[in-house]
Chain A
Amino acid sequence: MNNTSTTVPLNYLNHKTGLWSWLSSTDHKRIGLLYLYSITTFFCVAAILGLLMRIEKFAPGPTIMTAQTYNAMFTIHGIIMIFIVVIPGLAAVFGNIFLPIMIGAKDVAFPKLNLFSWYVYITGALLGLYSQFANGHSPDTGWTFYVPYSAEASSNVVIALTAAFILGFASILTGLNFIVTIHKMRAPGMTWFRMPLFPWSLYATAWIQLLATPIVGITLLMVIAERTLQIGFFNPSLGGDPVLYQHLFWIYSHPAVYVMILPAMGVVTEIFPTFSQKPVFGYVPIVFSSLAIALVGYFVWGHHMFTSGMSYESRWFFSFLTFIVAIPSAIKVFNWLSTMYGGSVDLKPPLLYAISFIFLFTIGGFTGLTLGSLATNIQVHNTDFVVAHFHYIIFGGMGFGFFAGIHYWYPKIYGRMYNFKWANIAWAFVFTGFNVLYFPLFIIGIQGMPRRYFDYDPKFQTGQMISSVGAVILIIGLIGMISNLVYHVKRGAIAPANPWHGVTLEWQIPSPPPHENFDEVPVVTRGPYVFDNPVTK
């Protein structure tokens, strides 16, 4: 016992110390932080790769790298960002830290399995990193591993595929854990429809993780078999079918987009009521829109392949369903806006990011419909328009949802407060930089700039230059944001238990939470968003 223990109450951060106490902890909050630190590290690596690619594209012709290096870079950037950062992302970090607390449980259903999942994850992540450096043959297939190229390329494709397979396994185990936790661990009185909406979004996400990930697992195994055993499932010269690969790949990888975005939607759904001091508008529709996105999202994969060779009927069908899946997303947007309407809106950093999320996600969503329409798809397929679209969804959606979440729950996680002014300035840089970086890509994409090219026609230079400037602004903003958060972990003002006057369970316990969350098992008697004494401005 040292001096601090007499002044600072014991909590999950200080009840045990030492590196091993973290690496062997089955406490869901500590595992969540392990994910937070590993994901942030990988995010920074991949963001720097993104910046290097933008610098390369500042001017036509080779600038700072060769074409082959560029190919490797967008592949590494994609593999890290998709498989290591955004797919686990919000669910693994905030889901782990807050799901049990928000439903009034002491931990997830399988704490040991939870820790094991992190080890599986970090093994896959390190293997992924290793594939980039082993023998100097970085994979250059793009993160989608399309055959026949991925079956023939001489780069480290097998290692990268194995890494993706292992990461998928971690994702399945996390999803499984969350489903069982939500079914079995809710506090007394916490009925399904008294559950906050972030757990609901995790529930929908977990089912996708569980039911879609095995498909990509077996698909990646088939490509590995193709490369090592010469079984030509996808190789036309042996009778295989390359388009079949694309089907199997997107059967997982499109639902994976909803694995990324649904938890982000869940996070902002928590933020809007709290910062408006008003019950969420349309609780039940939000629940069912999450489930509908998970269900319909499973059947839209074909819209990635309109130009790959599919029957007219399939194209019609997939295009139609793509439009259908936009409806539940739109329902959510209306509900968020209506939640703020007439509330006492408090424009703190979490809400800034949440509102930016709506703005960017809406742009991403509408351009998604442009891509989902059969005629316009052919014009913009495989152009920078696609790149801009999915960055608006993945970065503007999932990324900003993550930033909103970390600014929202930071005082709860660390018991300290970050600097608001600093956070607001960083937000301005991030938001401006993001739009300057990605919006021009829509325009040059429509004009015909193909994606994944390291060189371009000089007529695209204006757009490319603006975009590169945006990348620099964005990186400055990210450095500002991360350093604000890191700096105040130890030095920030002590945060109260409930700095934002939230009403869900995590705000009813001390900051940071005690080791086992609740001293007594909470008994829930009402819905999650009842503001008895709303703070008015």
Chain B
Amino acid sequence: MSTTEHSDHMDSDTGKLGMWLFLFTELFLFGGLFIVYAVMRSKYAGDFHHAALELNAFIGATNTVVLLVSSMTVAMSLTAIQRNQKSLAMGLIFITLILAGVFMVNKYFEWGHKIGLHLYPGSDVMKTLPHGEIMFFGLYYMMTGLHALHVIIGGILLTIVMLRINSGKINSQHYLLQENGALYWHLVDLIWIFLFPLLYLIT
């Protein structure tokens, strides 16, 4: 019962189950926003159509590709550590972090452009817009803002993972933290996969 091997095995299973449950709660957190989106979209279908045209689908699509590729690199990194290829694993996480940075820079220009047009909650321009458009931009900032926060948290988590690979704490035998970090990163990606069509594509 108490041999080291056995308890380590238990720990890994247990840790992963905990992470999956935590991811459920994250989905429900965004779920609340999706409900509000659904209600408001059905209430103000026309306004949502007009407001969505303001968004730059090209930047959105670029960011989607960026996140999808980053999900791939983080998964590849996990396979690398399982095969004991330490520097490859670190390199792949580093690429993931770079891609996260690219995503955030795009987001910065996107938000910056809108704020430049005085399209932000409480602005003079916003007050003149029809209700549905105000609601669309409110949801846009709230949803992409909360998602961006998750990108930052995921980035910090993956940085810690990278440092631990470097120090040898994460290795081909013990990679629970990296597995959980990768799961979290996939969640960040998954939520974006829903945000992108809802905000950018459906007009």
Residues of chain A touching chain B, judged by Cβ–Cβ distance below 8 Å, are: 109-110, 113, 172, 176-177, 179-180, 183-185, 188, 210-215, 217-219, 221-222, 225, 229-233, 238-241, 244, 248, 521
11 chain-A/chain-B pairs, Cβ below 8 angstroms: A177-B18, A184-B10, A184-B14, A184-B17, A185-B14, A210-B24, A215-B28, A218-B33, A225-B121, A233-B142, A521-B1
Contacts A214-B25, A241-B43; A232 near B32 (Cβ below 8 A)? no
Tell me if A219 and B32 are in contact (CB < 8 A): yes
Tell me if B135 and A232 are in contact (CB < 8 A): yes
A19 to B13, CA, bound (A): 34
- CB of B138 within 8 Å of the partner chain: yes
Contacts A184-B17, A229-B121; A211 near B28 (Cβ below 8 A)? yes
Contacts A211-B24, A219-B32, A239-B131; A231 near B121 (Cβ below 8 A)? yes
Contacts A176-B22, A241-B43; A109 near B33 (Cβ below 8 A)? no
A416 → chain B, closest Cβ, in Å? 33
Residues of A within 8 A of B25 (CB): 172, 176, 210-211, 213-214
Give 10 closest A-B pairs by Cβ, nearest first. Answer: A239-B131, A230-B122, A218-B32, A214-B28, A231-B138, A214-B29, A231-B121, A184-B14, A214-B25, A176-B21
A266 → chain B, closest Cβ, in Å? 20
Residues of B within 8 A of A184 (CB): 10, 13-14, 17
Contacts A210-B24, A225-B142; A215 near B31 (Cβ below 8 A)? yes
A232 to B32, CA, bound (A): 15
Tell me if A233 and B135 are in contact (CB < 8 A): yes
Tell me if B1 and A240 are in contact (CB < 8 A): no
Q: Which of A172, A219, A222, A238 contacts B134 (CB 8 A)?
A: A238
Q: Which of A180, A238, A240 contacts B21 (CB 8 A)?
A: A180
Residues of B within 8 A of A180 (CB): 14, 17-18, 21
Q: Which of A177, A238, A244 contacts B131 (CB 8 A)?
A: A238
A179 to B20, CA, bound (A): 11
Q: Which of B39, B121, B130 contacts A241 (CB 8 A)?
A: B39
Give 4 new A-B contacts, CB below 8 A, not counting A212-B28, A222-B33, A229-B141.
A217-B32, A219-B32, A222-B142, A238-B135
A109 to B24, CA, bound (A): 18
A395 to B83, CA, bound (A): 57
Tell me if B18 and A248 are in contact (CB < 8 A): no
Interface residues on B, range: 35 or more
- CB of B98 within 8 Å of the partner chain: no
B42 → chain A, closest Cβ, in Å? 11
A109 to B33, CA, bound (A): 31
Residues of A within 8 A of B36 (CB): 222, 233, 244, 248
- CB of B30 within 8 Å of the partner chain: yes
CB nearest neighbor in B for A187? B1
Contacts A232-B135, A239-B131; A109 near B14 (Cβ below 8 A)? yes
A232 to B132, CA, bound (A): 11
Tell me if A232 and B21 are in contact (CB < 8 A): no
A206 → chain B, closest Cβ, in Å? 9
CB nearest neighbor in A for B122? A230
A188 to B18, CA, bound (A): 21
Contacts A215-B28, A218-B29, A229-B122; A176 near B18 (Cβ below 8 A)? yes
A185 to B130, CA, bound (A): 56
CB nearest neighbor in A for B123? A230
Q: Which of A212, A221, A232 contacts B138 (CB 8 A)?
A: A232
- CB of B202 within 8 Å of the partner chain: no
A443 to B9, CA, bound (A): 60
Taken residue by residue from 13 to 55, chain B's Cβ proximity to chain A (1 for < 8 Å, 0 otherwise) reads as 1100110011011101111110110011001100000000000
Tell me if B121 and A239 are in contact (CB < 8 A): no
Taken residue by residue from 125 to 159, chain B's Cβ proximity to chain A (1 for < 8 Å, 0 otherwise) reads as 00000111011001101100010000000000000
CB nearest neighbor in B for A230? B122
Residues of A within 8 A of B142 (CB): 222, 225, 231, 233
A171 to B43, CA, bound (A): 34
A472 → chain B, closest Cβ, in Å? 43
Tell me if B13 and A214 are in contact (CB < 8 A): no
Residues of A within 8 A of B44 (CB): 239
A113 to B180, CA, bound (A): 15
Residues of B within 8 A of A211 (CB): 24-25, 28
A212 to B142, CA, bound (A): 20
Tell me if B39 and A218 are in contact (CB < 8 A): no
A443 to B40, CA, bound (A): 42
Contacts A214-B31, A233-B36, A521-B1; A183 near B131 (Cβ below 8 A)? no
A109 to B18, CA, bound (A): 9
Which among B17, B21, B44 has the greatest number of chain A C-beta atoms within 10 A? B21
B29 → chain A, closest Cβ, in Å? 4
CB nearest neighbor in A for B145? A225
Which among B18, B25, B132 has the greatest number of chain A C-beta atoms within 10 A? B25
Tell me if B135 and A240 are in contact (CB < 8 A): yes
A215 to B33, CA, bound (A): 9
A349 → chain B, closest Cβ, in Å? 37
A264 → chain B, closest Cβ, in Å? 24
A340 → chain B, closest Cβ, in Å? 37
A241 to B131, CA, bound (A): 11
Residues of A within 8 A of B17 (CB): 179-180, 183-184
Tell me if B18 and A217 are in contact (CB < 8 A): no
Q: Which of A172, A179, A222, A244 contacts B39 (CB 8 A)?
A: A244
